[in-house]
Structures are given as structure tokens and as C-alpha cells.
Structure 1
Amino acid sequence: MAQILAPTSQWRMKVTRSSATASPMTAKMWGSLVLKQNKKGPARSSTKFRVLATKSEGYTINRLEGLLNLDLTPFTDKIIAEYIWIGGSGVDVRSKSRTISKPVEDPSELPKWNYDGSSTGQAPGEDSEVILYPQAIFKDPFRGGNNILVICDAYTPQGEPIPTNKRARAAEIFKNKKVIDEVPWYGIEQEYTLLQTDVKWPLGWPIGGYPGPQGPYYCGAGADKSFGRDISDAHYKACLYAGINISGTNGEVMPGQWEYQVGPSVGIEAGDHIWASRYILERITEQAGVVLTLDPKPIEGDWNGAGCHTNYSTKSMREDGGFEVIKKAILNLSLRHVEHISAYGEGNERRLTGKHETASINTFSWGVANRGCSIRVGRETEKQGKGYLEDRRPASNMDPYIVTSLLAETTLLWEPTLEAEALAAQKLALNV
């Protein structure tokens, strides 16, 4: 992100009643259902069931699609809540639906639920029940109306967070008074790659072959440079509809790769928004017949990897004299480089090679306007003497709850020894 702006007032995720005229992202928009129609009557099918069709204003509307797009608000107060959680790999998103008796405005109004953790790699078969705790609500861009997406975290029946529940630990850090007083802002740049379904090769690439070298694809336009723009744009609008604080999108350096930015968001909200946006992207690529991957280096060789650069600032960094606070934060980050790298995404060593706008995974560095460093500080931040830093180390598959809370912990709560601080300051001075 170019800069961190003032955050929204969304301190707690809420949903207001949407009007009956609110229009969801329909199946027709995605083009997910194409059936040949008989001009003289009902559609014919070689299977045992038939899909009827009617004529309306000069075009044929499929009955199944009509049911998918039904607006329920004039007929019932009941809504559909899609409960979403993170699966056993720590990257996959899972979800299931339930009926709620009336529209809700806060997660506390929703019941807890459970799922079979033995089927997601999160519990043994003999004791497989895992409990979902609703934590954040977003409008559902697929069903529309008052229907909602619900970001949940997972607990044992005894109320203990399961190992893959990283939100619980993050929430503890963000509830610390020192952290609250510093109002940490995050702007997260989520990169992702689109793959062809059957061959798992990037979208737009010749099967088994390669496109021209990198150069014309970044923020490019044209059929020979941009592959998957409809998916990126559909995702952009769906996120805005949902209430996700998405702030932009662009084509990336490697063809078939895209990026969107979420933020600025305050505290735990950053992780909730990223996970909700990932779920929506998975649903859109599902309907488009394209595979989404968050692999940090989907194609080996002279091609850019995929990161999740995290822009970060505190109240003290944004005030006069903030550049010195930023330097102190960078010093702390240098001393915990190994801890951060170990938590910044699986397979990140294939991406952080010192090439393709990355720093080496084994070396901590920082610089002004240098995209080959671990931490980049913008020219404007240096000029104004305040602003934010960009942590360029996180991989595209990182857990945003871990990364955001770890940044807050290292820069606001963790105190190095005087000896370690002095040694790190000397090394950083040589680095700059």
C-alpha cells in the first residue's frame, strides 16, 4: 500500500438491515450455470430431472437460478448465516450454513455451533466435536438480503482454543492496555495466484509452457497481459458489499497473479477482514471454475513469488517524532527475526531468496524505499518524520492473526536486554 489512511469506525463488526432491493452477487453474474433451452417450451435434459424455464422480457430465466436469487426479506424474518472457520492446515477455510430466526447486528446475538473436527484434521475421531464461537459478521454477497457471513474461531467443548485457533491468542494481545492505547493500524497486501483447473498451471499461461518474461504484466491491460481481471473485479465488489475494508486491487508482476489490499484496520479487525476476504475469493473462483492458490512461490525459476506485505503503524509512529519510534520498532523486529520468520507462512523460504523484490530469509535488513529489504520505510515517512513501516517478509499464505499480533507484541510489549539492543543498533547502523 502506498500509505496508511485514517481507519474506519468499525471497532466491532456489525450488520444493519439491508433493504429488500439489495442485489446479491448472483449466479447469473458469475455465469456459473449454462443450460440450453428449447424455444418451444421447457428445457430438456438427458437426466431424470428437468429444469423448467419461463420467458420474461425477451430473455429466458432459469428456474433454478431464480430460486438461488430469491429475496426472502418480504416473506420471512429468518436469515441464513454462513459460519466460517479455519481448517486443520491453517490455510483452508471451511463453512456451513444455518437458519437464524431473525436478522442480527452483533456476533453476540448468534448461537455457538459445532462441527466434526475429525473431518478437518482438528480432532480425533473418538472425541471429534469442535465448538464454533461467532466473532465477526459480514453481509453475504452471494445470498444478499439480510443473510450474513460469520467469522468464527474454534474451541474444545471445555472452552479451550484448539491449536489451529490463532485468533484467541491474538485477541489477548490486542486487549492489552499498552496495545489498545497505541491504536495499531494495519494495511495488508494480499497476493494470490489463479490456476487453470485441470492442469494447475497459472491462468493465461500456455499449458506446459511459459509466457513472455515479466515486465508488461504488473498493472497491465490487454488480453496478452491481464488474466483473471473479471475475478479480481468481482471479488473487489463482493468485498465492498460485505463490508470488508478493501482499499484497492491490481495485477501483479507474474502473469495470472493478483493483489488486493485490506485496511487500514485496527487490531483484531485486520485478521477478521482478511479471512473473510479470502473466503469470498475462494467462493468466486469456485464459481468461475478457477483454482486459487496462496502458495508463496507457485512457479519456480525467474518468476516473482506471492507475499502478504503488512503495513503497520502505532499512534506514536503517526505523531511528530514518530520516525524515531519506527526505528526503535525496527530494532526490536531485528532481534526477533527468527521468531517472525517461523510464523510468517509455510514455504516462505522458496520466496525469500534475496531476488524478485525480497530480502534473504536468513538476513534482517531495512531501508527507505528499498523493496529488497525485510522492512521498508516510505520516502514520505522519512520526509515527514512520522508514518508507518512495511514488513515485506510475510508470505501470501500467512495467518493474519499471527502476523498482526506478533508485530504488536514485538514492538509494544517485548523489551530486549540492553546488551542485545546495543548490538542490534550497531548492526542496523551498518546496514543503513
Structure 2
Amino acid sequence: MIKAEYIWIDGTKPTPLLRSKTKIVEAGAELPIWGFDGSSTNQAPGKSSDCVLKPVFSCPDPIRGGAHKLVVCEVLTSDMEPHLSNTRAKCVATESRYSDHGMWFGLEQEYTLFKDGRPLGWPEQGFPAPQGPYYCSVGGDYVYGRELVEEHLTACLAAGLKISGINAEVMPAQWEFQVGPLSASAVSDQMVVARWLLARIAEKYGVHVSYEPKPVKGDWNGAGCHTNFSTIAMRESYDKCVQAAQVLGERHELHISNYGAGIEERLTGNHETCSWREYKYGVSDRGASVRIPWQVARDGYGYIEDRRPAANCDPYVVTQLITETVCSRI
């Protein structure tokens, strides 16, 4: 017998939470549908509280080891229809509709570590030295939480996730990991597992993982989930990369409203952002809504980076919107 940890996204607003529980199943057997009390997760009223968990992605559980598994689930109603909180179903449908475009995504997940109500390593009173020496830094004066971050990276690799890197970020106690390139639903499934693993490992250290877009007010960087993507055509033509950047601007308001609660606190026009009120793109411009990497302009093909999504975004929503906006127009 093995332990299968069923993981799902709940109905908490404005930012859903991850939930999970353990099911004992026979080794090698198909993972069955399961259920939970939706009245305790903001997904159902008490008088009709049953919700269904449908396994959609599984991988080795690096925390329990052995043959144990982590299982990402879609939430269904008892009629076996996608629940209102189930954003994956729409993502998969859009991905299927535009499958001939060959969309790839890479997500850059920023997050901030908190302990005792303040960013990890920050003084009890006042603030650390201003931003500047912390990004990709080395040394005890600049880095807080590396042991936890390294353990998370090792766990993601052991789970078989396509994690492609980590780095310390601009604000002290802020970090980033990257997942991809993968399809829209696959990169989102793996991001759910990576976020779950980060929270689970942080428990051991007594640390809270925050995905708030602006975890500390004032002259400090916010936290985003920069989303890199390409179609087959973009991977062959620079003009298609430019077209993709242009069409994203046509539905800027729709994207902003679905890129994470509190996004306007981060997208101020300062701290490597473009204001949420405007849309612009540019080559090598980290102050733009969408950045075209310099090597893409040089090579004449590649990908572009949507810098607008907040750290607390729903990856299924972000990848679905980008797929629909770009693939329906170029």
C-alpha cells in the first residue's frame, strides 16, 4: 500500500489556497476519484457539501519517499461537472482548441519567506540595508533562507518536476524558482506541486511562504510570476514574437483583472514594473508590460515574457488567457 497525497485548489477569495489530504491506495492501482467537504474549503454550502476530487497528474512524493505519490486533482461537483473553482478545465479546453500552435510556457515564481510576522532575517525594528546587494547574492549578510530553498529545489527534482533554476531576488528574504518549458496545463500542474512542496517544507522551518504581490510596502520590490511563452511560429519568426506582444495589449484590462489579487500594488511603474494602467512592450525592457529578450531580437526567433502576472496568480488562468489571446490572433 502507498500514501497518495491528493492536492487541490480551494475556493478562497480573492486568492485560493492549496489543500491536501492523504489516501491509502494499493501500489500500482489506478488512482481513484475521491471526495471532500466543500463547506470547509469555501466550495460548497453545508446542506450540499460533497465535492469530488479527480486525479489529473501524479508524481513521486519526495517527502515521504518510496512509492508514495503526490496527486494533483481537479475539483468536480457531485454531478461530475467542473466546479466553479476549477480553472484547470478551461485551461485544458483552450489548450486543446489551439494545440496546433504548440504553446510552451515557462513560469518564474517569486515568493517571500516570513517568520514571526516579518520577512525572514529582517531586524525586529526598522529595515535591512536598501536593495542592491541581495539579487543572486552570496553570504550571510545578504541571504536568508537558503537551506529551505535548496531543500525545495532537491525535492522538486526528486519529484520529477521540470524545475529549471532558482535564485535569490532583489528584496532580502525573497526568492524565485522557474518551471518549464511545458504546455499550459502541464506547467500549471507542476507549479501546483512545486508550491505545495514549498509550503510543506516551510512547515519544518516554522516559516510562512507569501505570494503577496507587494509583501512589504515602500521602496521594496514586489513579487511576480513572470510568464515566458512561445508558439511554433514564434520559435521560427521574430515578427511573430512582436505580433504576440502587440495582441496581448489588445486585451490588457482582461489580463490585468485575472493576473492576481492586489496586482495594482506591485505594478506601479517602479521597481522593474510597468504601471497596471498602461501597456507597452520592448526589447530587453524590464520596465515594460511585456519584454522581448535581447537574444530573441538578435536571433530572429524565440519567445517573449509577460511580466504582469502577480506571484499569487492562478497559473491555469494565466496560461489559458495567454493561449486564447495569442493563438486566436496570430
Aligned to 2:162: 245
SS of residue in 1 equivalent to 2:118? coil
Contact 1:217–1:226, Cα closer than 8 Å, also in 2: yes
Counterpart CA distance in 1 for 2:182 and 2:316 is: 12
Instruction: Point out where structure 1 has 5 or more consecutive residues left out of the alignment.
Output: 1-77, 416-432
Aligned to 1:412: 327
Aligned to 2:242: 327
RMSD of aligned alpha carbons:
1.0
Give 2:261's match in structure 1, choosing from 346, 349, 359: 346
Counterpart CA distance in 2 for 1:286 and 1:146 is: 23
Equivalent AA in structure 2 for residue 261 of structure 1:
Q
Counterpart CA distance in 2 for 1:412 and 1:306 is: 28
Report deviation, 1:352: 0.1
The 5 Å alignment of 1:228-239 reads: 228-239=145-156
Give 1:145's match in structure 2, choosing from 66, 86, 98: 66
Count of residue pairs brought into register by the alignment: 328
Give 2:289's match in structure 1, choosing from 374, 381, 384: 374
Report deviation, 1:182: 1.6
Aligned to 2:25: 100
Aligned to 1:273: 190
Report deviation, 1:267: 2.7
Give the TM-score of the pair, scaled to structure 2: 0.98
The 5 Å alignment of 1:76-87 reads: 78-87=1-10
Contact 2:184–2:316, Cα closer than 8 Å, also in 1: no
Counterpart CA distance in 2 for 1:194 and 1:282 is: 10
SS of residue in 1 equivalent to 2:176? strand
SS of residue in 2 equivalent to 1:317? coil
Counterpart CA distance in 2 for 1:330 and 1:216 is: 32
Aligned to 1:171: 92
Deviation digits for residues 23-43 of structure 1, max 9, x if unmatched? xxxxxxxxxxxxxxxxxxxxx
Give the TM-score of the pair, scaled to structure 1: 0.75
Aligned to 2:83: 162
Give 1:188's match in structure 2, choosing from 104, 107, 113: 107
Report deviation, 1:414: 4.8
SS of residue in 2 equivalent to 1:115? strand
Give 1:363's match in structure 2, choosing from 257, 262, 278: 278
Identical-pair percentage:
49
Q: Which of 1 and 2 has greater Rg? A: 1
Equivalent AA in structure 1 for residue 90 of structure 2:
R
SS of residue in 1 equivalent to 2:110? strand
Counterpart CA distance in 2 for 1:103 and 1:288 is: 33
Deviation digits for residues 134-153 of structure 1, max 9, x if unmatched? 00001101110110000001
Counterpart CA distance in 2 for 1:298 and 1:267 is: 27
Counterpart CA distance in 1 for 2:109 and 2:71 is: 21
Instruction: Point out where structure 2 has 5 or more consecutive residues left out of the alignment.
Output: none
Structure 1 stretches of 4+ moved >4 Å: none
